[in-house]
Structure 1
Amino acid sequence: MAGNQAAFQKAMNQGHSAAWDQDWRKAAEYYSQALEEFPENALALSSLGLAYFELADYERALECYQHAARVAPTDPIPQEKMARIYERMGRLKEAAEASLIAAELHLRGRDAERAIDNWVHVLSLYPEHLSTRQRLAAVYERLGRREEAVHEYIAVASLLQHSGDLTRALKSVEYAARLAPESQEARFALHTLRSNQVLPRPARPKGGTGPMRMASVKELESSAQSGEQDLQLDPVDETRQKALVQLAALLFEQAEEAEGEPASRRGLSALTRGAAGPLGGGNDRTRVILHLGQAIDSQTEGDLTQAAVELERAFELGLRTPAAAFDLGLLYRGRDDEKALRYLRESVKHPDYTLGASLLLAQIYAGRGQWNEAAASYMRALAMADAEMVPPEQADELRQMYEPMIDALGSDTDQASLQSICKTIASQLQRADWRTFLRMARQNLPPQPPGSPLTPVSEMLLESHSGTVVELIGRVRELAAREMTRSAMEEAYFALQLAPAYLPVHIEIAELLLREGRMEEAVRKFMIVADLYNARGESARAVRILQRVLEVAPMNLNVRERLIELLVAQEKTDEALKQCMELAENYYRLADLDKSRQTYLEALKVAQQSKNNRAWGVEILSRVADIDMQRLNFRQALRIFEQIRTIQPDNQATRMQIIQLQFRLGQPAAAIGEADSYINLLESSGRRGEAIEFLNLVIKEGNDNLDLRRRLADLYAREGRVDEAVSQLDTVADAYAGQGKMLEAINILEMIVALKPKNVEDYRQALMELRRQSLRR
């Protein structure tokens, strides 16, 4: 049954718009809607595949491109995309097969260059792929690229020689020598073979290091899982694997950017020199990549000491990611525990690494006999693991249940009890089937009455006041809801006596202070709680506390700055940017334009890490330009608008601002050039009508430039709107005549006559009159 074409096209356009802004989640939603109308549309399938690829959902991206390849079997693009996805998944054999199919499809479509690109890509994965070398040599020869053909024929000879086929190896080299008799490489290879010496093996072309290292990481994962029946890992190994995959993925990003950075990225980076992603920038970026690649190689080969050295060098050069910090902590554990602790305390703050890092911290503390710290870290690891066993909306509440236990462990003096707790939790979590074990443990907990809070599985391990404290918090909230604030405060302080370091009690006290109108004390209490949560590695809760403070004190700039720091550290880039924008706006409201502008530029650095960097870049730069305009710093505003134009070349408002500023600054030639650039852009996409409207608007805004009118007349003429073209040229001719520029006026009148308007005779007479006047002069 045919779908709705209008709905399909609308969804595709919305998807393309979201993709242009790099909002890939929205793009995926729109493309999915389009496929509901036409499930076999190849473009929609490929577009959805791209969106999933950008979201790092490689399984679903692969499914989309496989479907697209079945729908359009002669299109090489889905095969090329499948090859890139297979590389990201460490499946090099499938990647090479897809690239080979793409190469043959390109060749059938008479696109030899794209076919060559795919063959070279195969060789970057498998440099000794004989049939690809042979195919490449033949195509190079057919294209007349003799030097490259000779190189491939010699590579073929090397592979044949190493496989023991000396006769065919010699024939291949002799053919290369006949093909290019002047080739030194061919003569040397021929001499080598005839002297019974060994040809060097073919080298790997550039571009294969990322896929090869990802494959090594995946192979390491497979070997770690090979002995497990259900293919599971313990939390530390699972986190290690996640870190290695993320580190290997950075090598792909470097390779892709090296192939050609988009103009949008260049537009942003022009104002944020020195700001960079996790790899740093410039020479440091190259060194980071070098050390990172060597670290992955060493780790997958089992040389953990060298891996630590290389990764630490990359970290010191700017590779400040949670994945790198965790991996360093793991590598240094047992070798240099002080370094391990430093890196693990950094990584434990990131939710993806809290569980694994907490276990490693606990193991190190236990090895040093620091049983209070070990037990607290083990309990925090159990809290994170237990929270995975419940629905997401209940996870935060369950983690809070563990806090009084964690606090109690910090001051417990019973060393035997602490050691017992460490041993028990270690036995529960340091195992491949830890999820299965915890699910069973949770199922075996006593049934709870409906509406009662969750019970931590740790309740089976130790007795504490946690149940009493939780009940007291419920009582505090009940009294506060009944406006009995003083009584609620008394209950809260009683709860503090039982668990003085239990942070949810401090939060309740801060809320009560707000109810009493003691804003400054409440904010101070909230800030202390947020700092403690962050110090304990629970930065997500610290963020929620700071967000609560801003609900009641939105103009507190210090709180907002602290919130931005935490969001950036958690890699919640878009949320951090929203707070950056609000902070800059607050400075703007306070008439501190310098601080507002500085905050926007700092936000621009953060924006480079966002998937929506184009949209954020335009919004931030627009605010910066607005400030510069208010301060009458037109030259600086012009530079900012030019940056926006680089990111969004079809933004009409930006083009208008640039042209007006260039005229205002006495740069008419630059203004005309800008107008020409935009008109060419519009015309190349079939939007001549918009170009006409744009030029009319520029002239209407007070930029009555004769060159602009001539361009407008040319557009009208090519659009078949002769009367309007003549009207513009008539104005230009009168202006030239009034300025005494007779030759220019004559030229314009000749153009009008060539258009053959209805009153062409009037213009012929005017032309004759001007020529006579010109001769008299």
Structure 2
Amino acid sequence: MPANKTAFNDALKKASNAAWDQRWDTAIKEYRRALHEFPDDTSAHSGLALALQESNKLDESLAEYKFLAKMQSNDPVPLARVAILLEKMNRKGDAVAAYMQLAELYQQQKQMNKAVEAWRKATTLDPDLTEPHEKLAAAFTEAGHEGPAAREWLALAKIAQRGGDFPRATQCAERALALEPDNTQARFLLNELTGRGASLAAQAGASPVELARRSALSRLASSVLDDKTPWRRGDSGGRAGVDVDSLLARAIDAQENGQSREAIELYEQILAAGVSRPEVQFNLAILYQNTLRHDDAIALLNQTARAPQFAVASHFALGQSYRAQNKVDMALDHYLQAMKIVDLTTVNRSQADQVIRLYESLSDSYHVIGDDATAQKYRATLLDFLNSKGWQDKVREVREHIATVAMGGTPLSMQEVFETPETQRVIELLRTSDELLRAGKLYAAGELVYQSIEIAPNYLPAHAQLAEIALASGRTSQAIDKYATLAETAEVRRDLPKAISFYKHALKLAPEDVTRRSKLINVLVQSGDLPEALNEFETVGKGLEAAGEIQKAADKYNEGLMLAARAGVVSDTVTNLQRNLGAAYMKLYEYDKALIVFQELERAAPDDELARYYLIELYLRTGQTAAGERELDTLLERYADAPQHVEAVLTSLAEASPDEPVIVRRLAQHYAARGETTKAIQLLDDLGERLLNQDRKAEAINVIQDIIVLKPPRVDDYRRLLLELREPVEA
């Protein structure tokens, strides 16, 4: 049966109008009707895919976009939508494959910026996948961007290290350093992989300070016999006539024999000679510390902390010196810094920012507490850990636990885990509980969680696990209450990342809870995450509107805009807040306020078609017809090549203002221009009758004249009516 072009065009037009009005169910129906006539039409498939996505019918939308990607194999847009949808559906493996395919297509089209963006998305979704990192490294190298290329090789080195492929890890770290010699992370990793700069794992049982001291002595002893040592060359900058080798050999011998005073004097002479190697500085700092010269030790340790191979030990020793001086806050800062450095060596780049934020939050919370007991407890915890056998391996074990907890949405740092009583036992209980939960054995899973809480009652991930078990057993309200309690607890502790996470968990289960969402906004503002806070302002406002509380919604939109103005934030979210505020004012019949909002929005974003649409409606509602016509002319000019959009705009405006001649007459002209004369006449006839009923004769006369121009079947009747209106018959 041949396709019906008229039916196809009619369906496509109705679908477009419905999509414009966000009536997605109608749009879906009409797009499918259009495809019944022409099954391979890409514009209909594209519209249907969008409508299905907006209706949250993601599987069907995905199928449409896949069809489009196959039909338009050289167009990256459908494939990009496939990747985004797969990511939204949490199908990470498929999403990664789609992003890789998308990147290849962009690369073929020489759109390298977009190819890089797609590869980066792939690395975010699967941080341990090597291919996108390799592609990024090659692309950055070819473009001459050595720093970004080096960071990709560093990421590959860490992946190889985690996989136990140490030769490959070493090779990648060396390539990173070849591109960016000052990359401290690459140097630190290479030191760890090759043993240069002390293999901490090989000397279990020693503290990081002792390990670093041994390493420094060993490196200095080796350098005495090395002709290539900087101070043995003419360009060393050392003082002429000073035998640095002799001083160094004597200093090492004195230090190893416990002659601290003599060793200090010799090391000071070496520094005075112009030698500034971190090994010398670190050894002298520890000697100062052992002889209670903490100010002198602190000055040197602040310098050696910048050397990757001494960073952990230096911060730990700084914590010891500040603690000896009873400067608790300073001591805690450096203990936390030491732990953060260890923590960062176990994560990939995509996780690093989150880990840094967690430690900043923890530092804030300890400064609030600031008591000596807490400092002593944390110092003891860190000492026990860093003095324990195989502590670097334990770092990785703990990180696996943290990654598991993070998959549930709870941010966690290593320090929090180490503070927990019987850490290994608690981790094992929660790991087994998680396995039982996934197997559907909820009672047994809960029992293990309660055991872990008995050991560590303040360990929040255990309580979060109880919420997950409650949710799995169908006790949703109990899970919501648990997450809300956890959020409030974290907020009191000033652990803002956790507070944000727990509030989001609760809101995912009860999205209409405006009170909790307002609390989330407060925490987001406190944490400095203003873009996310503004998104939540929009969500709260829409929730209030849905509940019929329009004035409260307008107040919330205003609050968000005031925050954005104070912070100087300019974003799409701010624009959405302005649109929502203007629309709320219209619902409240506060047209003057709405007009001001949309005028400001139009000045800020002249291409904002929705703002211009609302301005047309507002000008007409407030009697500013000429201004409304000017805005309408401007908007319709934009759609000169898209008649379906012209019709959608005019139809929507006519529905909003059915008795406004300016709009209805324009719509009639549009119908007439498309050959739909009968429809145009009927539209004008209905308008004319309404105007006469409202005693608006002058406007009715203009409408009747429009009808006569169209030559309706009973044109003489309209002419007689026109004469009667112009020259009324006397009674």
Q: TM-score range by the shorter chain?
A: 0.3 to 0.5
* TM-score normalised by length of structure 2: 0.42
* TM-score normalised by length of structure 1: 0.40
Q: Which one has more relative contact order, counting CA pairs under 8 Å at least 6 apart?
A: 1
